[in-house]
A and B are shown apart, each in its own frame.
Chain A
Amino acid sequence: MAENKVATKTEAQDLQKQEHQEERTVAGRFFIPQTDIVENKESLVITMDLPGVKKEDVNVKLEKNILEVEGRIDYAPYEKLNPVYTEYNIGNYARSFTVSNALDTSNIEAVLEEGVLSLTLFKAPEAKPRVISVK
């Protein structure tokens, strides 16, 4: 049975949610949100898909080079609903990344819009590319 499941799901596999395997002290399932990490001259931009999460329920923490993002969803719309046909799982989101020293830890911008969280981590002034002129 296991082999057949993998074969038919390969097309949609990229879009499925992966469960976060860490043990937690809070009740509720955690999934890994899809993330894009893009770097430009001044900053590192991290974009994560967090549908169903409100601004107040997002926790972003940067400590000792580890960036941790956690988003709890609002279970209120799901009360009193009985599932009839399901294709995806509903749960909270969490992901952590190890980031380099070259980031300015006091200057992080976070914007949550339409279920997409954009984190802009500015690079520390020393890490910006510097042009060295040769005399």
Chain B
Amino acid sequence: MFGKLSSELDIAIQKAVEQARDTNYFETSTTGHGVYPFINLFEKEGDLVLATELPGVKKEELTLEVREDVLRLAGARKIEYGEDCSCHRLERKLLNFDRSIKLPFRIEGDKIQAEFKNGLLMVILPRAESDKPKQIVIN
């Protein structure tokens, strides 16, 4: 940016900072910044909505926990084929995952709604009343 006067270190720092905030949402492949499972966080009327794709994972094997402002998602997916088969192509992987995500605000634990349909998990996380910003009247 400032011509050849930038040192190697400056360039490396600049790249690292930009990369940390970068997202490939509009590009052809996904970001993969995080660990599996990849999540998308959306906002709807002040509440957070989490979307994750977990094909092949059964509801019983999925753990979803919330404590204050940390959300934990854990589970496993098994893939089994018979012994007498010849595998031409195996792209789907056996997965064990356990991921904790820190959210921008605390969540009202009792009002969480989670739906797992067609391998897509959608969790609605309403903001805790105690965590909502309060207007301060200035005299």
Chain A, interface residues (CB within 8 Å), range: 35 or more
Q: How many A-B residue pairs have CB under 8 A?
A: 156
- A36's partner among B28, B45, B87 (CB-CB below 8 A) is B87
Nearest residue, chain B, Cβ from A112 = B118
Nearest residue, chain A, Cβ from B31 = A87
Chain B, interface residues (CB within 8 Å), range: 35 or more
Q: State the CA gap A90–B45 with chains docked (Å).
A: 21
- B87's partner among A18, A38, A114, A116 (CB-CB below 8 A) is A38
Q: In the assembled complex, which residues on chain A have CB atoms less than 8 Å from the CB atom of B82? A: 40
Q: Across the interface, do A11 and B49 meet the contact criterion of CB distance under 8 Å?
A: no
Q: State the CA gap A60–B12 with chains docked (Å).
A: 48
A44 to chain B, nearest CB (A): 8
**CB of B51 within 8 A of chain A?**
yes
B94 to chain A, nearest CB (A): 11
Q: Across the interface, do A86 and B25 meet the contact criterion of CB distance under 8 Å?
A: yes
Q: Across the interface, do A5 and B19 meet the contact criterion of CB distance under 8 Å?
A: yes
Chain B residues engaging chain A, CB cutoff 8 angstroms? 15, 18-19, 22-25, 28-36, 38-45, 48-49, 51, 53-58, 79, 81-82, 84-93, 104, 118-120, 122
Chain A residues engaging chain B, CB cutoff 8 angstroms? 1, 4-5, 8-9, 11-19, 34-41, 45, 47, 49-54, 74, 77-78, 80-90, 112, 114-116
